[in-house]
Amino acid sequence: MFFIVIVAISLVICLISFYPLLKKDAQKESKLRDQLNKAFYFDRLKETEQEAEQGKIDDLEQTRQELQQNLLDDIPIQTQAVTSTQKFAYKTWFVALLLIVPLVSTAIYWQVGSKFDDSMLSASHQKLSYFYERIKTEDTNPLSLEELNQFAMALRVELQKKPQDHAAWFTLGQIGMATNNGQLALDSFAKASQIQPENQHYRLRYVEILMYSDDPQDKAKGEEILKALIRADHTNIEALSLLAFRAFEQEDYKMAAVTWGMMLKLMPEDDPRRTTVERSMQSARSMLQHSPTIK
C-alpha cells in the first residue's frame, strides 16, 4: 500500500510540474515554425526579385510559385524533425523523473520515517510499566482504545526481547479480545499456551477463541482441547461452561442441560453465577421438550 501511494503521488507531482511546461513549449515551437517559414520565404523572395532585375531569371512569376511551394513544403519537415526530437527528450526526462521521485521518497521514508517509527515504539515501550499499573484499576478506570493500542505496541516490543514471556503473550491476547482483534487474541493465546501448556487458564482462553471462530476447523480443534481439559479435571467449571454452550450451539440440548446441572453441583450456593447457569439449564430443557426428535 505504501509503494502504491508513493507511485501515485509521484505521478501527480510530475504531471503538475511538467505538463504545463511541455504544453507551453509545444505552443512556442509552433509559433516559431510559422515565423521561420515567413522569414525564409520573404528573404528568398527578395533575392529572387533582385535576380530577375539582373536578368538571371526569365519567368519571375513561375519562380515565385516554385519558391513558395518548396519553402512551405520543406521547412515544416525540418522543424517537425526538431519538434519530434524535443518531444522525445521531454518524454525521456518525464519518465526518468517519474522513476527518480519514488526512489527519493522511499529513501527519505526509510531514513526519516523508520526512525520516527522506532522512536514511537521506544516511547511506547518505556510506558509498559505504567500500563501494567493501569490495568490494576481497569474496573474503575478502564483504558481507552488508544491506550490499549499503545499497550499492545509496548508488549510487542517487549516480546521481541523476551519471546518466551508467556504472561506478556497472554496479556497481549486479552488486549486483542478487548479491541475486537480476534486474530491477535488467537495468536497470542496460542503462543502463551505453547510456552506453558500446563497452565489451564491459558488453554481455556485459547479454547474460547477457537470455539468462537467462524472456521469449523478452529471449532473442532477447540472442542478437542476442551475435552482433554475436562478429562484432566472434571471439576473445572470454566471448561464445563464452554462445553455446555458448545453443546447448546450444536442443538445438543440434553448434553447442555446435563453439563449445566453438573456445574450447579460444583458451585457454592452463594456463587453469583448460579442464577445464569440455572436459567441456561432451564432453557436447554425447554428446547429439549419442544424438540421430541432430539434424544
The whole-model pTM stands at 0.58
Residue that wins the pLDDT comparison between 214 and 266: 266
- Residue 295 confidence class, pLDDT cut points 50, 70, 90: very low
Domain covering 123-290 in this structure, CATH number: 1.25.40.10
Is the pLDDT confidence value at 36 over 90? no
Average pLDDT over residues 158-165: 94
Residue with cell 519562380: 63
| Nearest-angstrom CA–CA distance, 251 and 294 | 9
- The pLDDT value recorded for residue 70 is 64
**Percentage above 90 pLDDT, the chain:** 44
- The pLDDT value recorded for residue 180 is 92
Average pLDDT over residues 26-34: 56
